[in-house]
Structure 1
C-alpha cells in the first residue's frame, strides 16, 4: 500500500509541501453525492483533502449509472454515502471520510455543525436546502460554492463560476437569485451553465460528461480557494507579528 506521500508526489510538484499540508489539514463538507457531487468528492480526495464529510440520503439506482462515479451494476441498491466512502478510502486510506446518510433540511441543519468546516459545497437538488445552506454558511462565515442546474444540458464547455447575481439563462439560478435577494444574501459563489436547456423535462435528462465536468470544476475551485485562504491567513499573521515587533 502506498503512503500518503507517494500518492501526492505529483500534486506536491504543483502546490508544494506547504500547499499539500494545507489540503491535508482542511475540513470540507459536501451536500449531495450524485452526478456532480460524486465527482467533487473523488477529486477532493485525489487532490489531498484530509477530512471530507459527505451527506446524501439516497441509495444507488439503475438510473444513476449514466453519470455517478460510484454507480455500477454491483452497487445498485446500496447506500450512496457508504459506497462512496469506501471508494474514497480505497484511494487514500489515510483520509478521514465521514458519511452521513441523511438529507439536509431546515429542521436538522444544526446537526451538520457547519462552523467546524473550512468549506461547504452544495450539490443538492432541493431549493429550500440550497437557500438555507447559503444563509447558514454566511452566518457561520464558512465559504460555500453552490451548483446550479446541470440537467437537460449537453455542452460541458459552457459552465462558469461566478456570483449568483451575475447568472442568467439557468432556471434554477433565477429562482435562487430571487429567494436569496429576498433574504438579504448579498453574494453566493455558484457554478452554472450558460447553455439553454435542451428540454424542460422534470426529472431532467442527463449525460455522463456534463455533471462530471461540473463536479471537477467545483473541486478545482474549492482546492484553489483553500490554498488561497491559507496563504492570506499566513500573510495576515506575519503582518500582525511585524506590527507587534
Structure 2
C-alpha cells in the first residue's frame, strides 16, 4: 500500500506530486525543528536538508522529539536523518552538522530550496538566515519564541510584520528592519506573555550555543507548546508548496 494514500486523498494528486518534488531546508532540529521535520517527512517531502550543529543532552528530553536517553551525546542532525529515512526511505536527505552564520550560509542555502524553515534559537544565526533567505528570494517560515508558554490556543501565524506580544518577534523585527527587510517572512508566534514560575538554578545554566556566542539563561519549557509550533510550521510549509502554480 502507498504510505501517502491518505495525504493524497485529502490534498489531491497534484498537491502530492508537488510535495514529493519539493526541497525544504530545516535549520535547527531542537524542540520546534524536530517536530517540523517529523511532519514534513510524514507528509512526503521529497528532499530534506537538515541543519544543526548541536548534540542531544538530558535537558532536551522534556520537549525534543529526537532526544531520548539512548540518544544523549549524539548529533541531532544525524539522528534526524536516520529517522526521516525510516519514515520515508525514498526521501533524499542531506544532513549538515554546521553552526549557522554568515559564512556557513554560503554552503547551506541555494536557489533550488522551495521553503526555508527557521527553528534556530540563537538570535544572530536566526537573523543571518532570514536575511540571506530574503536576499535570495526564498520562501521562509520562522519560529518565534515557544519557551515560557503553556497555552497552545494562543499560537498564531502571519507575516513577521504582523507579530505582536512575543519579545523575540519584536527583536527579530527590529534586526530585520536594520537590514532593510520589513515583511516577507511567514512567522509562527504566540500571543501568550512568556512566564517562568521560578528563576533557573545555576547548575541548570548550560551554554545554549556550546562555544558559539555568549551563554544564556535557560527558559522554562513544556513538551506540548514547541511541538505545536513545529507542526504548525510544517503546515505553513506544505501550504506554500502546494499553492504554487
TM-score w.r.t. structure 1 length? 0.89
| Residue number among 143, 156, 175 corresponding to 1:160 in the alignment | 156
Residue of structure 2 aligned with 1:214, choices 229, 233, 236 = 229
Which of 227, 232, 237 aligns to 2:242? It is: 227
Q: 1:13-28 maps to which residues of 2 (within 5 A)?
A: 13-28=9-24
Match of 1:74, SS state, is helix
**Unpaired segments of 5 or more residues in structure 2?**
201-216
1:1-245 → structure 2 map (5 Å cutoff): 6-187=2-183, 188-199=185-196, 202-229=217-244, 233=245
Q: Deviations over 1:35-54 (max 9, x none)?
A: 00000001001001010001
Q: Are 1:148 and 1:173, in contact at CA under 8 Å, matched by a contact in 2?
A: yes
Task: Report the CA distance between 1:186 and its aligned residue.
Answer: 2.2
CA contact (8 A) 2:45 2:91 kept: yes
Q: Give the TM-score, by structure 2 length.
A: 0.89
SS of the residue aligned with 2:138?
coil
Structure in which a larger fraction of residues adopt helix: 1
For residue 103 of structure 1, report the CA deviation from its aligned partner: 1.2
Offset from partner CA, 1:93-130 (integer Å, 9 cap, x none)? 11111110011101221011332201101000111121
**For the residues of structure 2 that align with 1:34 and 1:114, how far apart are their CA atoms?**
23
**For each residue in 1:186-242, what CA deviation from the matched residue of structure 2 results, as whole angstroms up to 9, or x when unmatched?**
21211110001112863111110000000000000100110001xxx2xxxxxxxxx
